[in-house]
């Protein structure tokens, strides 16, 4: 009916898996360019595998044997590294949804395939993680049946910038300015500091460890970090940086969405511990909203762990919740040998 085979990185495969992604997630469109870049630049030190699910004989539903109807992937997270912790994901073309769950389904076959693959690795896998959007009941039921438990909730939210009123927040911006803190765009920062990338790297390595996650933050070398500045969705003038004297103390960045230019994404908003609760995050967010307005886009999409104070800052700014993403874990029994 279907088979699971290696991904060969062909143009045709990339085009098809992006088509499936976009049919599944019309609110979160992706591009071949983004996916290729992320695959090609992924640090090979960390395990990652992408696999194709395609129609196969014999089957009643086979009109086109060899047609790609889904993809699955699994790997280790370099930013939350643990050699025995793996994530996985699965996309099935909604037109073939009848094959996704139930007896002899794609989900069951993929789970067996991945567990077998990972069990051959050393050290043996101890934890399998995955994300599922809260409105995808078929997948939620499958994960629960498989023994996955919900560990963390990440709230998606979006702001309509066309109706955004900055007035209630302008006092906060004035307060930040009165402390001598400037908000610069990245092109402005570059003219100020030759070591702008080292500055941003240090800022991010300090602040990312305070972002709620289920694993422990793993700092990466600056060469790895530097790859974000060549990502196809990187927008140089969408980066707002808070500078206090000679030091970068905060930042918030907007990412492009070439598949849906009206909707831009917030990457990471962060403020050094020494500078928190002074209104800097609020001032940075205001600068990013103004940037998106000037660019002529209509919406900003973001995602925060539900108890992160950043989520309430976004709600106060007018971001409206969308369905949340849930992180699921399954402890794997390690058999010796
Ligand atoms: C979340 C974060 C960016 C907030 O930065 P900040 O500059 O301190 O935020 P602001 O000063 O603009 O806060 C505005 C309001 O939000 C609320 N708030 C901010 N941080 C809070 C906290 N830790 N606990 C409770 N409320 C908080 C308060 O109401 C605050 O106003 P107040 O200080 O007058 O009471 C910062 O804590 C941080 O860098 N955290 C680690 C990285 C992270 O998780 N980023 C978000 C993920 S994208």
Residue pLDDT, tens place only, 208-234: 999 999 999 999 999 999 999 999 999
pLDDT at 334: 76
For the Cβ of 199 lying below 6 angstroms from any atom of ligand 1, the answer is no
User: Is residue 62 pLDDT above 60, yes or no?
Assistant: no
- Atom of ligand 1 lying closest to residue 269 CA: 48
For the Cβ of 279 lying below 6 angstroms from any atom of ligand 1, the answer is yes
User: Is residue 4 pLDDT above 70, yes or no?
Assistant: yes
Which whole-number Å values give the CA distances from 123 to 144, 251, 336, in the listed order? 26, 38, 10
Instruction: Report d(CA 172, CA 175) in Å as an integer.
Output: 5
Task: Say which DSSP state 94 is in.
Answer: G
pLDDT at 65: 84
CATH for 2-125 (3.90.79.10, 3.30.420.40, 3.40.630.30, 3.40.440.10):
3.40.630.30
Domain ranges of the chain: 2-125, 157-322
For the Cβ of 35 lying below 6 angstroms from any atom of ligand 1, the answer is no
CATH topology of domain 157-322: Aminopeptidase (3.40.630)
Same fold, 2-125 and 157-322: yes
Alpha helices in the chain (DSSP H): 11-24, 32-41, 106-119, 137-145, 170-178, 186-192, 196-207, 222-225, 280-295, 309-317
Lowest mean pLDDT among 62-76, 264-278, 285-299: 62-76
pLDDT at 57: 76
- Atom of ligand 1 lying closest to residue 271 CA: 39
* Residue bearing the CA closest to ligand 1, atom 30: 277
Instruction: Report d(CA 145, CA 330) in Å as an integer.
Output: 11
pLDDT band at 58 (very low <50, low <70, confident <90, very high): low
pLDDT band at 16 (very low <50, low <70, confident <90, very high): very high
Q: What is the mean pLDDT of the chain?
A: 96
User: Is residue 305 pLDDT above 80, yes or no?
Assistant: yes
């Amino acid at each position: 009916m279907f088979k699971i085979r290696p991904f060969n990185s062909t143009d045709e495969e990339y085009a098809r898996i992006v088509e499936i992604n976009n049919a599944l997630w019309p609110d979160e469109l992706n591009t071949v360019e983004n996916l290729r870049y992320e695959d090609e630049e992924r640090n090979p030190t960390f395990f990652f595998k992408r696999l194709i699910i395609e129609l196969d004989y014999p089957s009643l539903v086979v009109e086109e044997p060899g047609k790609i109807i889904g993809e699955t992937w699994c790997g280790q997270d370099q930013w939350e590294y643990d050699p025995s912790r793996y994530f996985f994901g699965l996309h099935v073309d909604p037109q073939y949804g009848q094959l996704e769950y139930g007896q002899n389904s794609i989900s069951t076959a993929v789970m067996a395939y991945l567990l077998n693959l990972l069990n051959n690795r050393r050290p043996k896998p101890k934890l399998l993680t995955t994300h599922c959007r809260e409105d995808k009941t078929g997948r939620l039921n499958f994960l629960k049946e498989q023994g996955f438990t919900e560990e963390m909730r990440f709230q998606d939210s979006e702001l309509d910038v066309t109706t955004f009123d900055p007035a209630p927040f302008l006092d906060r911006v004035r307060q930040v300015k009165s402390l001598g803190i400037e908000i610069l765009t990245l092109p402005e920062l570059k003219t100020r500091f030759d070591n702008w990338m080292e500055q941003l790297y240090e800022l991010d390595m300090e602040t990312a460890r305070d972002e709620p996650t289920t694993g422990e933050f793993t700092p990466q070398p600056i060469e790895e970090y530097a790859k974000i500045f060549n990502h196809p969705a990187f927008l140089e003038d969408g980066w707002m940086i808070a500078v206090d004297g000679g030091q970068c103390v905060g930042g918030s960045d907007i990412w492009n969405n070439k598949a849906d230019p009206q909707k831009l994404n917030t990457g990471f908003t962060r403020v050094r511990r020494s500078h928190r609760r002074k209104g800097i995050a609020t001032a940075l967010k205001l600068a990013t909203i103004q940037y998106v307005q000037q660019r002529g886009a209509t919406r900003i999409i973001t995602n925060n762990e539900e108890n992160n104070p950043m989520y309430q800052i976004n709600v106060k700014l007018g971001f409206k919740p969308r369905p949340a993403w849930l992180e699921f874990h399954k402890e794997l029994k390690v058999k010796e040998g």
